[in-house]
């Protein structure tokens, strides 16, 4: 299993200067290579592979006006070309959007392979540095001297904080003992998650709580003159406010996903089209603040590591409008309706709990044929779109009138 340890880094003035120059060189190499790819495709209708891009980097370093590219380690520059090639592969495979140019105002990072760093006894020496990089180890149960990183990534946030990531190959962890519990999870805005057993996890609304302070910092930034020192300070305050929102949201998502994986053998979630949902302008900000996509990603890798089963129910399944007791399907159900009574069997439902129960039933039904299941040790999810439906007694929608 491959994992990474994230630590706060504290470079001195000389080390920060070397890293900043490295970030600038990476940015130049990335942007110029991307522009060269554009021009080559527009003029020759030819795609570029990694070997050609690497040769182009060699040509850039040989130019007199770009001779300063040779003053930094060549490893991060070569890794930038490798990452750009992977970005294009993901784009053509439909897994990511088109690669964009890098900006000096965003997050900066540099990746070092084994030839670009030396890690001995818990001390990290990077290329072009004579002194070890200071960092804080945050895992008391793990000896930093015993870690054998394969790659090291150093990054700097827009707010000025430095981090170092150690990518490590570890043995597969021990699987958690079985609990015999299953849960269907319905994600929402009012309540972040509602489980099929009736538990409601409140939405912390991290961004909404800090929106007032963030708006004040952004107004101050808008009044500052571009290029001034006060504008740089105001930009740092805005970046720190966003960092606090990200950190608190990530902490909530990690705690929630870890608890669900620890307490349940089978977890069923709905395949939400988050990218399409954020096109709803009145709800886009609230949906983005929830972090549903990150929550699903955490559930996937934590369930695989713990030996749990993650089932992804169909995207078009009408879980809210279906009676979990008899399977009757309503013709329509407005978003304002939080409770409703089934006209067929008379059962009164809480909208979110009923949806969670239906998601669980639908997930268990499709898992019988091996579809939409995330098994331990596998990172591939198979779609259940073309699977034939299997009859179950409850949880499957049935139109009124027997249709």
> Do the Cβ atoms of 62 and 11 come closer than 8 Å?
no
Residue-level pLDDT at 346: 85
Residue with tokens 């978003």: 335
Alpha carbon of 147 to those of 6, 40, 117, 137, 240: distances in Å? 13, 43, 14, 11, 31
Active-site residue (options: 265, 328, 352, 372): 352
Average pLDDT of the residues in 331-353: 87
- Give the number of other Cβ atoms within 10 Å of residue 374's Cβ: 22
Average pLDDT of the residues in 251-276: 93
pTM of the full structure: 0.82
Average pLDDT of the residues in 118-143: 93
Question: Residue 352 catalytic?
Answer: yes
Active-site residue (options: 111, 265, 270, 372): 270
Question: Residue 289 catalytic?
Answer: no
pLDDT (tens digit, 9 = 90+) per residue, 142-189? 999 999 999 999 999 999 999 999 999 988 888 899 999 999 999 999
Question: Which pair of structure tokens corresponds to residue 392?
Answer: 């179950």
Average pLDDT of the residues in 3-27: 96
Statement: residue 390 has pLDDT above 70: no
Average pLDDT of the residues in 74-95: 95
Statement: residue 22 has pLDDT above 70: yes
Question: Which pair of structure tokens corresponds to residue 272?
Answer: 């939400």
The alpha carbon of residue 159 and the mean position of all alpha carbons in its chain are separated, in whole angstroms, by: 20
Nearest-angstrom CA–CA distance, 63 and 139: 45
Statement: residue 243 has pLDDT above 70: yes
Active-site residue (options: 186, 265, 328, 372): 186
Residue-level pLDDT at 293: 92
> Do the Cβ atoms of 259 and 302 come closer than 8 Å?
no
Residue-level pLDDT at 250: 94
Residue-level pLDDT at 368: 55
H/E run at residue 250: helix 229-263
> Do the Cβ atoms of 247 and 161 come closer than 8 Å?
no
Question: Which pair of structure tokens corresponds to residue 360?
Answer: 């669980």
Contacts of 179 (CB under 8 A, 6+ apart): 263, 264, 265
The alpha carbon of residue 270 and the mean position of all alpha carbons in its chain are separated, in whole angstroms, by: 17
**Of all residues in the chain, what percent carry a pLDDT higher than 70?**
91
Residue-level pLDDT at 157: 94
> Do the Cβ atoms of 319 and 312 come closer than 8 Å?
no
Nearest-angstrom CA–CA distance, 273 and 283: 14
């Amino acid at each position: 299993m491959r994992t990474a340890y994230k630590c706060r880094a504290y470079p001195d003035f000389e080390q920060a200067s070397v890293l900043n120059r490295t970030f600038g060189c990476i940015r130049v190499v990335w942007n110029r290579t991307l522009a060269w790819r554009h021009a080559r495709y527009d003029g020759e209708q030819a795609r570029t592979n990694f070997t050609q891009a690497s040769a182009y980097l060699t040509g850039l370093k040989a130019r007199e006006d770009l001779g300063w590219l040779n003053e930094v380690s060549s490893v991060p520059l070569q890794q930038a070309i490798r990452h750009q090639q992977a970005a294009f592969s993901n784009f053509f495979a439909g897994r990511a959007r088109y690669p964009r140019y890098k900006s000096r105002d965003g997050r900066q990072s540099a990746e070092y392979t084994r030839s670009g760093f030396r890690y001995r006894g818990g001390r990290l020496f990077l290329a072009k540095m004579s002194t070890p990089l200071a960092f804080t180890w945050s895992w008391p149960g793990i000896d930093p001297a015993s870690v054998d990183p394969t790659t090291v990534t150093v990054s700097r946030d827009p707010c000025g904080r430095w981090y170092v990531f150690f990518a490590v190959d570890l043995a597969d962890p021990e699987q958690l003992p079985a609990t015999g519990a299953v849960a269907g999870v319905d994600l929402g805005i009012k309540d972040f998650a509602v489980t099929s057993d009736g538990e409601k996890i409140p939405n912390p609304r991290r961004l909404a709580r800090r929106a007032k302070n963030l708006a004040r910092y952004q107004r101050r930034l808008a009044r500052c003159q571009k290029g001034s020192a006060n504008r740089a300070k105001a930009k740092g305050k805005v970046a720190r406010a966003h960092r606090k929102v990200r950190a608190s949201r990530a902490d909530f998502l990690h705690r929630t996903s870890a608890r669900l994986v620890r307490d349940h053998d089978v977890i069923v979630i709905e395949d939400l089209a988050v990218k399409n949902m954020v096109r709803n302008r009145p709800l886009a900000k609230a949906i983005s603040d929830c972090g549903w996509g990150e929550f699903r990603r955490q559930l996937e890798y934590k369930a695989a590591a713990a030996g749990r089963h993650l089932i992804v129910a169909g995207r078009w399944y009408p879980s809210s409008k279906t009676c979990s007791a008899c399977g009757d399907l309503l013709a329509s159900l407005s978003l304002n309706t939080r409770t409703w009574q089934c006209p067929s069997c008379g059962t009164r439902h809480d909208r979110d709990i009923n949806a969670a129960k239906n998601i669980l039933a639908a997930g268990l039904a499709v898992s019988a044929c091996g579809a939409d299941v995330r098994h331990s040790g596998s990172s591939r999810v198979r779609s259940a779109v073309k699977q034939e439906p299997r009859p179950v007694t409850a949880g499957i929608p049935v139109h009124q009138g027997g249709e």
